[in-house]
Amino acid sequence: MATEITPGEAYGFFTDTSVCIGCKACEVACKEWNQLPEKEDELGFLGQSLDNTGELNGSTWRHVQFIDNVPDQTMSEGNGKAFLLMSDVCKHCKHASCLEVCPTGAIIRTEFDTVFIQEDVCNGCRDCIAACPYDVIDMDEERDVARKCTLCYDRLQGGMEPACAKACPTDSIQFGPLDELRNRAKKREATLHAQGLKEANLYGHDDKVYGGLNAFFLLMDKPEAYKLPNVANAVLPSRNNIGGYLGGVVTAVLGLLATVIALRERRRGGGESSESPEDARA
Amino acid sequence: MTSFAEAQHFVGDPEWTWYILFYFFVAGLAGGAYFLATLLRHWGTPADEPMARLGIYVAFPATLICPILLTLDLTKPLRFWHMVVNTTPDGFGLNFKIWSPMSVGVWALVLVSLFTVVSFLDALARDGKLRGLPAAVVAVGGTKAWNVVGAVLWLFIASYTGVLLAVSNQPIWSDTWALGGLFLASGLSGAAALLLLLSRYRRGAESSHPVLEIGERLFTVLELMLLAVFVLTLIADGTLDDAFGFPWILLWLVALAGTLPGLRGLAAGRLSVTGGGAVTATRVSAWALAPSLVLIGVLALRAVVIFSAQG
Ligand code: SF4
C-alpha cells in the first residue's frame, strides 16, 4: 500500500540489513532517478569483494557495502558466516553534524524532517565533509558543490516514495513515517532474537545516536563493523567549541603576560638595546 | 574530544590543502604582529613606536591576502558572499552561527579588516606618507581603544583557525582542544621573529629588539607546553600514530626546529638580552637565519596538522 506523504510529518528509511541480498537495485534506482553521473573510475574493478562502488560520494548516494565477514576456515561444514550487506545512505540525523557547521545555511531541514543541501546556496567550503561522521557528503565534480542523498525530496513533494525503497526487491529498504518505521523495526528485531539471531541490533532508531537517525538500520554485527560510530563515539563537532576557544583564551592571556614580562625585563635590563639589527639577531 | 576511549573516525577528507595552509600561516603572523604592535605602542616606550608601526604594516596585507586565499579555496569562489548573506529562498538575511567557527571566523575577518585598514592609514599618516586623510582616521586608528579591540580580534583570528579544525569529526583535529592555543602561540613567536627580521628595514625599530627577543623565547615555551597538551590529548584518543607516523614525523622535526632559536636564547640568556642571550653575528645570512627558522617552523606546524589528518 502506498504511503501517504504529508508535509510536516517526519519520514525516513528503515534499512533491514538482514534481508539485503546485495543486488544493488537501490544504487541503480538512485542513480537513475537523480541523474547522477558516473565517476571517472567508477567502472573499474576494485578487487575488494563484490563491491565495486567503494563509497558514498557526490555522485553515489546509495552504496551497498559488502563486508567480508567470512572466516578463512569454518569450524565445521556450513558453520561459516556470510558477507555482511548493508545499503548505506545519508542518515538524515536529527542532530546533523553537517547542518551544524554549514556556514552558508545551504544545509536545511525540510518539511519532511530530512536533511537537504541547497545546491544554489552551497559555495563549496567543504566544512560539512569534515563534519559528517558517516563520510556521506562529497563534492560533485561537475557542479562543484557538496551533494548527498536528498531522500528523494522531489519525489516526496510529488507524493512518491524514494526511488531506492521503491526498487528494493526484498524490502530491506523501507520508507515511511518515522514512528511507524520504528515500531516495525522493534518487532523485526524481536523476531530475529526469537529465532536465535542475538546479534541483530537496531542502530539510530532511538535518540542515542545523533538524537535519532531518520535513516536507521537493523544490523547483524556491531555498528563499527559497518563503519558506523558506536553510541560513545557518535559525537557532534560542536563538542569542541568551548574547549577550543577556552584554550585560545588561556593562551592569549599567557601571551599577554609573556609580552608584559618582556617589556619589564627590557626596562630592568637597562632600557633599549644598543645593538644594531645585525648584532641583535642570530 | 572523546576522552579515554579510542575514537572512531569514519569521516571523509575536506581536502583543505595549500590555500588553507597559507591562510592559517598569514593569519597567525598578522595576528601576532598587530598584537605586539599594540602592546609596544601603548605599554612600551616612545622608542617602540617604529616597531609598532612595522607591526601594523605587517598585519595590513593579511586583510587582503586572507580573504583571497579563503575565496580561492571555495569550489564556487563567486559565491564567497554566501558566507555572510543567506540566499535561501524565504530565509534571506545575514548568516551568523555562533557554534560554527567558520561562520564566526568570517565575521571576525570582516571586522578585523576594518580595524587594521584604519590603523594602517593612521600609521602611514604618522610616517608622513599620506596626507589629506580625514582627521577622524588619524585620531582613531592609533588610539589605545582601537588598537586593543583590533588586537583582540586578531588574537581571535590567529587562534580560531585551530578551533575550526577541532570543530569537526576528523581524526587528530577533533581529538584535541589544544589546536586553537597551539596555533596562537606559534603565531606569536612567528610574528616576533618576522618583526625582528623586517626591523632591518625600519629605522629606529631596533630599540624594540629586546622585547621581541624575550617575547619570542616565552612564546616558544608556551608553544611547547601546548604541543605537550596536544600530544596527551591524541594519546587519550588513540590517534597519536596518525599524527606522528612517517612521513609526518619529518614535518614535526621541522616544526620543532623552529623552536630552537627561542630555546637557545632562553638557555643562553634566560630573560636577558644583554648577557649571553644576545648572539653576535656580523653576516647578513646569520642575522636572518634564526627568524627564518622560526617562520619555517610556524608553517611546518600548520602543514603537519592539516595534512596528517587528511592522510
Ligand atoms: S549522515 Fe552526514 S550528511 Fe547525512 S545528515 Fe547526518 S551528518 Fe549530515
Which CATH number do you get for residue A21? 3.30.70.20
Per the prediction, chain B carries an average pLDDT of: 92
Is A6 a member of any domain?
no
> Considering CB atoms only, which of B97, B222, B281 is closest to A103?
B97
Nearest-by-Cβ selection for A240 from B15, B177, B181: B177
Specify the DSSP element, H or E, that contains B246: none
Q: Is the dihedral of CA A126, A132, A135, A140 positive or negative?
A: negative
ipTM of the complex: 0.94
Residues A89, A39 share a domain: yes
At a CB cut-off of 8 Å and minimum separation 6, what does A195 contact?
none
Q: Where does the pLDDT of residue A38 fall: very low under 50, low under 70, confident under 90, or very high at 90 and above?
A: confident
DSSP structural state of residue B258: T
Q: What are the residues facing A67 on neighbouring strands?
A: A84
Q: Which three cell numbers stand for residue A116?
A: 537537504
Is residue B2 a part of any domain in this protein?
no
Beta bridge partners of A175: A13
Count of CA atoms in the C-beta half-sphere (13 A) of B304: 27
Q: Give the 3-state secondary structure percentages of chain B, helix then strand then coil, rounded to 5.
A: 70, 0, 25
Q: Is residue A259 part of a domain?
A: yes
Dist. CA A218–CA A213, nearest whole Å: 12
Verify that A53 and A171 share a domain, yes or no: yes
Burial class (CB in 10 A: 0-12, 13-18, 19+), A59: buried
Domain containing residue B152: CATH number: 1.20.1630.10
**Residues A103 and A229 occupy one common structural domain:** yes
Q: Is residue B117 one of the residues assigned to a domain?
A: yes
Q: Which of B301, B102, B70, B60 is nearest to B183 (CA)?
A: B301
Own/partner contacts of A42-49, CB < 8 Å, gap of 24 or more, are A49/A83
How far off is chain A from B131, nearest CA to CA, in Å?
30
Provide the pLDDT for residue B132: 77
Give the number of domains in chain B: 1
- A216 lies in a domain? yes
Does residue B226 sit within a domain? yes
Note whether residue A2 is domain-resident. no
Nine-digit cell at B298? 610556524
Each residue of B222-246: pLDDT tens digit? 999 999 999 999 999 999 999 999 9
Residue B4 resides in a domain: no
Of B114-118, B125-129, B302-306, where does mean pLDDT reach its minimum?
B125-129
B150 touching A, CB under 8 A? no
Can you give the residue range of the structural domain that contains B133? 18-308
- Residue at B85 is within a domain: yes
- Mean pLDDT for the stretch of residues A101-105: 97
**Segment among A59-68, A272-281, B38-47 with least mean pLDDT:** A272-281
Element (H, E) at B93: strand B93-94
Q: Give chain B's largest Cα–Cα span.
A: 67
**Residue B152 counted as domain residue:** yes
Q: In this structure, are A155 and A259 located in the same domain?
A: no
A134, A248, A281 ranked by CB distance to B10: nearest:
A134
Residues A129, A220 within the same domain: yes
Range of the domain at A112: 11-236
Check CB contact under 8 Å for A232 and B5: yes
Instruction: Give yes or no: residues A132 and A260 share one domain.
Output: no
pLDDT at A272: 44
Same domain, A197 and A267: no
Put simply, the answer to whether A250 touches B181 (Cβ < 8 Å) is: yes
Task: Let me know whether A146 and A265 are in one domain.
Answer: no
- Closest alpha carbon within chain B to A270: B274
| Number of structural domains found in chain A | 2
Residues A44, A134: one domain? yes
Residues of B with Cβ-Cβ distance to A273 under 8 angstroms? 206-207, 209-210, 273-274, 278
Write out the three cell numbers for A203. Answer: 542502530
Same domain flag for A101 and A222: yes
Q: Do A226 and A103 lie in a common domain?
A: yes
Domain contains B3: no
Q: What is the DSSP string of B44-69?
A: S-GGGHHHHHHHHHHHTTHHHHHHHH
The three cell numbers locating residue A114? 530530512
Tell me if B291 sits within 8 A of B196, measured CB to CB: yes
Each residue's pLDDT tens digit, B255-290: 999 999 999 999 887 777 654 334 444 445 567 899
pLDDT at A275 over 50: no
Do residues B255 and B301 make contact, with C-beta atoms less than 8 angstroms apart?
Answer: yes
In a domain, A119, yes or no: yes
**CB-based burial label for B85 (10 Å; 0-12, 13-18, 19+):** middle
Lowest pLDDT segment from A33-37, A70-74, B196-200, B241-245: A70-74
| In a shared domain, residues A175 and A136 | yes
Interface with A, mutate which of B51, B169, B237, B295 (most A CBs under 10 A) = B169
C-alpha cell at A209: 545516536
A115 domain residue, yes or no = yes
Å from A163 to nearest chain B CA? 25
**CB within 8 A of A94, min separation 6: which ones?**
A207, A210, A211, A212, A213, A214
Residue A4 falls inside a structural domain: no
Phi/psi for A152 (5° steps) reads: 45, 60
Q: Round the average pLDDT of chain A to a whole number and report it.
A: 91
Provide the residue type at B181 as one letter: G
- Ligand 1: residues with CB < 6 A are A 90-93, 96-98, 115, 132, 134, 136-137, 148
pLDDT value at A111 more than 90:
yes
CB B25 within 8 A of CB B191: no
Average pLDDT over residues A34-51: 76
The three grid cell numbers given for residue A145, joined into one nine-digit string = 558543490
Contact B170, B11 (CB under 8 A): yes
The residue assigned the cell 557495502 is: A65
d(Cα B168, Cα B147) in Å, to the nearest integer?
Answer: 32
Q: pLDDT tens digits for A149-205?
A: 999 999 999 999 999 999 999 999 999 999 999 999 999 999 999 999 999 999 999
* Residue A176 is assigned to a structural domain of this protein: yes
Strands A63-67 and A201-203: unpaired
> Backbone phi, then psi, for A60, in 5-degree steps?
-130, 105
Q: Is B156 exposed, middle or buried (0-12, 13-18, 19+ CB in 10 A)?
A: buried
